[in-house]
Chains A and B, each alone.
Chain A
Amino acid sequence: MSWHKIYALCLRHIYLISNSLPRIIDLIYWPTVQILLWGFISKFFTLNSEYYSNTVGIILTAAILYDFLFRVSISYNIMFLEEIWSRNFTNLFIAPIKLSEMIASLTITAVFRSLIGLIPAALLAIPLFGVSVFKIGLPLLALLFSLYIFGVTLGLLVTAGLLRFGPSFENIAWASLFFLAPLGCIYYPVEILPLSLQIIAKGLPLVHVFEEMRNILINGTVNYFEIFISILISVAYFIFGVIIFYMAYFGARVRGTLINMGE
C-alpha cells in the first residue's frame, strides 16, 4: 500500500469538508441534537428510575457511543456515495490505486469525519448534563475501537452493495444501522430480548460493547475479556466485509457497472 495515495484520497475528502461551512455545520449539528435529545431523556430517567438512579448518564453515554458508530458507518457510505453523486467514480477506478488503498483512505477519513461531530457533542454533555463519556476511562478507547471497526464494516458492506446494485442501493445505506440497532442492546440490557434473539445479538459486537459500558458505569469494574470479545467479533466482521467488497468489485467488472456509474 502507498501512503502517498492513501493521503491523496483522504485529501479529496478533507478538501470537500474544509471547502464548505455547511458541511462542517452538518457534521456537528446532528450529533449535538442527538446528545441534547438523549441528555434530556437521560435526565428524566435518572430522576424517575431506580435502575438508573445510581449512575447518571448511562443512556447519554450509550447515545454518544452509538452515535460514534452511526457516524463512522454513515461517513464511510457518504464518502463513497460522493464519488457516485459527483460522477467521479470512473475516474477513481481507473486511477492507479489499489482497492486496499481505497478502503484504507475511507476507513481513516471516516474516523476523523465522525470525531469532528462527536467531540464537540461529547464535550457539550459535560456542562449541560454533568455527564462525561470520559468517565469510562481508558477502556473507552477499546470500546470506541470496537465500534469503529464495526462501523467501517457496515460501511464496507453497504459500499459493496452500491458496487453490486448501483446507486439504487443508496436507501439501504441509510437504513443499515437502524436494522441492527434493536439487536445491539444499546439502551437496554441483553436480557430484555427473547432468548432466541439474545443468541443472535451476542454474535454482534454491539451487545458486548454496550453491556460492558453499563458494567463499567454501574459496577465500576472492567471486564477486559468482554472488551476483547467485542473487538474480536468486530475484526472478524471486518475481514468478512473486506472479502464481500472485493467480491462486489470483481462482480461489478463482470457486469460492467463500474463505467459511467452516476446519478
Chain B
Amino acid sequence: MSIEIKNLSKKFNEVYAVKNIDFTIGANKTIGLLGPNGCGKTTSIGMMLGLIKPTTGDIIIQNKNINTFERNKLLSIMNFASPYVELPKKLSVKQNLQIYGRLYGVKDLSIRIDELAEDLNLKDFINKKTGELSSGQKNRVSLAKSLINKPEILLLDEPTASLDPDIGDYVRSYLQSYKSKNKVTILLASHNMAEVERLCDSVIMMKKGKIIDQGTSKEIINRHGRTNLEETFLKIVRSKDELA
C-alpha cells in the first residue's frame, strides 16, 4: 500500500509541531524518519494513525484520502509499535495477544499466535505476565502485537530503543526477514542510523517540524559530503541554516 503525505501540518497552541511536510512511501517500501527529539516524528506518526487531527494537509493511502476511509477498516490494515506504548502488565503475553488478535479480527488466532511466538522467540515466556519481562522481551511482544493482524502498513517508533546490541540486531534481522516474506509498507522512526541504513529504502530527515532532506541513505550522505548517515545526521542537526 502506498502512502502519500501532502502539505501536512500540525499546530499546537500557535506552535507548529509539523509544518507543511510532503513525502511518499511506495507500496511495500520501508522509509526511515530521522530527526532529533521534538522534530515532529511522533506527531507525524500520530496523524497517520488518526490519533492526532492534522491542522492542514492530507494523508492519502492507496490513492484514497484517509478521511474517506471508514476508521475501523483503515486501522485493521495498520499497526504500530513503540517502546513508549506498552501492553497491560498484569496480563500474560498470550492473553495480550489473544485480546489484540480478537480486536483486529484475526482469523485462526491460535495459529497466528503460535507463528509469532515461534518467529519472535516468545515461547519461553508466553504465559508470563508482560510486566515481569525484560525490556528486550517486552519489545518483542510489542512487535508481535504490531504484527498480529499482518498489517499492510506498519508504523514503528524507535523499535529498538533501549535494547542491547544483540537483541537490537535480532529485531532488525526479524524485520528484514518479515519484510521479504510479506507485503508491508513500513515507516520507521529511529535514532539509530545504522538501523535506518540497513532497513530503509529511503530516508526523510526532519528538523523543527520540517523535512530538510530526503532520498536514499547514499544520496543524503553524498549530498552532505559525509561518509555515513550518523555523521550526516549530526551535521544537519547541528547546522543553523538548514531551515533557512
Contact = CB atoms under 8 A, between A and B. Distances in A.
Q: Do A and B bind each other?
A: yes
Interface of A: 2, 4-5, 7-9, 11-12, 15-16, 19-20, 82-83, 86-91, 93-98, 250, 253-256, 258-260, 262
A259 B46 contact: yes
A263 to B, nearest CB: 11
Contacts of A258: 46, 51-52
19 contacts: A7-B102, A8-B103, A12-B88, A19-B92, A86-B86, A86-B87, A86-B88, A87-B86, A90-B80, A90-B82, A94-B49, A94-B50, A94-B79, A96-B71, A96-B104, A98-B71, A253-B50, A256-B43, A258-B52
Nearest to A251: B53
A93 B79 CA distance: 11
Counting contact residues on chain B (CB < 8 A from A), the size range is: 35 or more
A262 to B, nearest CB: 8
B102 A253 contact: no
Contact of B105 (A86, A96, A98): A96
Interface of B: 10, 12, 17, 42-43, 45-46, 49-53, 71-76, 78-80, 82, 84-92, 95, 98-100, 102-105, 129, 145
Contacts, number: 111
A20 B129 CA distance: 11
Contacts of A5: 102-103, 105
B94 to A, nearest CB: 10
Contacts of B100: 91, 95
A86 B89 contact: yes
B150 to A, nearest CB: 14
A95 B10 contact: no
B90 A20 contact: yes
B153 to A, nearest CB: 11
Contacts of A250: 53
Nearest to B87: A88
Contacts of B53: 250, 253-254
A186 B82 CA distance: 47
A2 B73 CA distance: 13
A15 B75 contact: no
Nearest to A98: B72
B132 to A, nearest CB: 12
Contacts of B10: 256
A230 to B, nearest CB: 36
B52 A253 contact: yes
Given A12-B88, A83-B88, A91-B87, 9 more contacts: A12-B99, A15-B92, A91-B100, A94-B50, A94-B51, A94-B78, A95-B104, A256-B17, A258-B51
B129 A19 contact: yes
A86 B42 CA distance: 20
B75 A95 contact: yes
Nearest to B72: A96
Contact of A19 (B52, B91, B145): B91
Closest 6 A/B residue pairs (Cβ): A8-B102, A96-B75, A96-B76, A96-B72, A259-B46, A87-B86
A256 B103 contact: no
B75 A87 contact: no
- Select the residue from A5, A83, A250 with max chain B CB neighbours within 10 A: A5
Contacts of B80: 90-91, 94
